A and B are shown apart, each in its own frame.
Chain A
Amino acid sequence: MTGLRIAYLEGDDVTAMLSKDTVLPELGRTLGEVALSVVGANAYLGVEHMLAALATDAELIITGRVADPSLFMAPVVHGFGWELDDWDRLARGTVAGHFLECGMQVTGGYFADPPFKPVPDLAYCGYPMAEIGEGGEVVVTKLPEAGGCVNARTVKEQLLYEVHDPTSYLTPDVTADFSGARIEEVGPDRVRVTGIRGRARPESLKVTVGFDGGFQGEAGIGYAGPGAQGRAELARDVLKERITNLHKCQGRLRIDLIGMNSLHATAIERATDTQDVRVHVAFAALDRAEVETVMWEVESLLCCGPAGGGGFRGQIVPKVVTHSAFLPRHLIEARTEVLET
């Protein structure tokens, strides 16, 4: 492909701006106090950082980390020339971005739950579109020929998705108040959203800091037929004994019995009469050799463990741990470059 203008936006990589005194509020500790090595840190940029890229009239813009709603709202701010302190308009554009940012979640994906929440033609579900007016009027819709649906229920689910406080949805652009939202179905697969207000944006930008978290192993072995539960429980007990007391592994071990209590691990264990149980083992440690030992222990159950174990699968992947930090926004400098193919 030739003659394509591509703008790219940098400045989200703030790894060099961290210090041992950078606070990680979720942990209540500083970077210096957390004994993990940093693999990278990225600030969530906003609309103001994207405007220079949009002004180049490039056909394609590639960005680093940008807050999800900002990514979708930036072309609208650019197109209408909204001011960056027009809080109500920015809040309305942000809610439109929030409807789009999770793709099919507003057109039926992650929503489908037959028979209560049917979604037509989920296999060919369409992605959403938002029509955004100059005053911030928002209609969420999709292509008529695409599968899926846009209705008041899909829109309400997405409105609340990953929203900690509906009166103060914080983005790099605005503090949006969704609490007065009105949602109306105005046509087939067309939902209008009004009543969104905004207040001043936060003075700091969120930063995701990634740390080298060592390795994580996952492995499983299945037991089926009469007595499957008892054999799976025996396998679990054998694993715990050998991993903890024989090998003295120091990492974090979790064993679930899928079919009995895996998704309900924190609930009171309920008896079931399933004859189809899978022992699922997860183990994380800084030392890869320790994770390999655990994987080996699970596989050895095939001939050393309870009767009838089968279908062993296991794999080890590097583990990255993330925590949030904040930086004053004036420290962040975005840079735009343009390439032509």
Chain B
Amino acid sequence: MQKPIVVGCGAGFSADRLDPACALAESGRIACLVLECLGERTLAHGPGAGHDGAQDRVSRGR
């Protein structure tokens, strides 16, 4: 029997915290980390938007 695949959540909406996502990524316990940051609100900010504006924070890790 194959081993279970462990999926971690790193964000459920665009203002979710980053530090618990880093903790999961560094734990070695998960096969992949999924960050769900795109909502009606973030998409709707218009053409050229479609992101949550947190790229700098994400690349910094906090």
A and B are interacting partners: yes
Give every chain B residue within 8 A of A146 (Cβ-Cβ). Answer: 20, 23
Q: Is the CB of A80 within 8 A of B12?
A: no
Q: Report the stretch among A20-28, A97-105, A237-245, A279-287 that lies at the interface.
A: A97-105
**A173 → B minimal CB distance (Å):** 15
Give every chain B residue within 8 A of A210 (Cβ-Cβ). Answer: 40, 43-44, 46
Q: Does B54 contact A (CB under 8 A)?
A: no
Bound-state CA distance A137–B12 (Å) is 22
Task: Given A40-B47, A210-B43, check contact A131 B34 (CB 8 Å).
Answer: no
Q: Is the CB of A127 within 8 A of B7?
A: no
**B8 → A minimal CB distance (Å):** 5
Q: Does A194 contact B (CB under 8 A)?
A: no
Q: Is the CB of B5 within 8 A of A79?
A: yes
Give every chain A residue within 8 A of B30 (Cβ-Cβ). Answer: 129
Give every chain B residue within 8 A of A100 (Cβ-Cβ). Answer: 7-9, 12, 34
**A202 → B minimal CB distance (Å):** 19
Q: Is the CB of B45 within 8 A of A79?
A: no
For the residues of A in contact with B, the DSSP-based class is: mixed
Chain A's closest residue to B8 (CB) is A129
Task: Given A39-B46, A134-B2, check contact A101 B8 (CB 8 Å).
Answer: no
The proximity string for B residues 16-57 relative to A, scoring 1 for CB distances below 8 Å and 0 otherwise, is: 100011011001011110101010110111110010000000
Chain A's closest residue to B10 (CB) is A127
Bound-state CA distance A133–B30 (Å) is 14
Task: Given A65-B43, A71-B36, A134-B2, check contact A101 B50 (CB 8 Å).
Answer: no
Q: Is the CB of A102 within 8 A of B43?
A: no
Q: Is the CB of B45 within 8 A of A127?
A: no
Bound-state CA distance A80–B31 (Å) is 13
Q: Is the CB of A96 within 8 A of B7?
A: yes
Q: Does A64 contact B (CB under 8 A)?
A: yes
Chain B's closest residue to A124 (CB) is B20
Task: Given A72-B34, A143-B23, check contact A129 B44 (CB 8 Å).
Answer: no
Interface size on B, residues (CB 8 A): 33
Q: Is the CB of A132 within 8 A of B44?
A: no
Bound-state CA distance A8–B27 (Å) is 26
Q: Is the CB of A39 within 8 A of B47?
A: yes
Q: Which of B12, B41, B44, B45 contacts A103 (CB 8 A)?
A: B12
Task: Given A134-B2, A143-B29, check contact A127 B9 (CB 8 Å).
Answer: yes
**A109 → B minimal CB distance (Å):** 9
Task: Given A42-B43, A126-B20, check contact A72 B9 (CB 8 Å).
Answer: yes
**B1 → A minimal CB distance (Å):** 7
Give every chain A residue within 8 A of B16 (Cβ-Cβ). Answer: 103-104
**A125 → B minimal CB distance (Å):** 7
Bound-state CA distance A65–B10 (Å) is 17
Chain A's closest residue to B24 (CB) is A127
Q: Is the CB of A75 within 8 A of B24?
A: no
Q: Does A320 contact B (CB under 8 A)?
A: yes
Give every chain B residue within 8 A of A63 (Cβ-Cβ). Answer: 38
Q: Does A208 contact B (CB under 8 A)?
A: yes
**A163 → B minimal CB distance (Å):** 16
Chain B residues within 8 Å of A, Cβ to Cβ? 1-2, 4-13, 16, 20-21, 23-24, 27, 29-32, 34, 36, 38, 40-41, 43-47, 50
What 4 A-B pairs have minimum CB-CB distances, sorted nearest first? A103-B12, A210-B44, A320-B44, A100-B9
Chain A residues within 8 Å of B, Cβ to Cβ? 39-40, 42, 63-65, 68, 71-72, 75-76, 79-80, 96, 100-105, 124-134, 137, 139, 143, 145-146, 208, 210, 320, 322
User: What are 10 A-B pairs with beta-carbon distances under 8 A?
Assistant: A72-B34, A75-B7, A75-B32, A75-B34, A79-B31, A100-B8, A129-B8, A131-B5, A134-B2, A146-B23
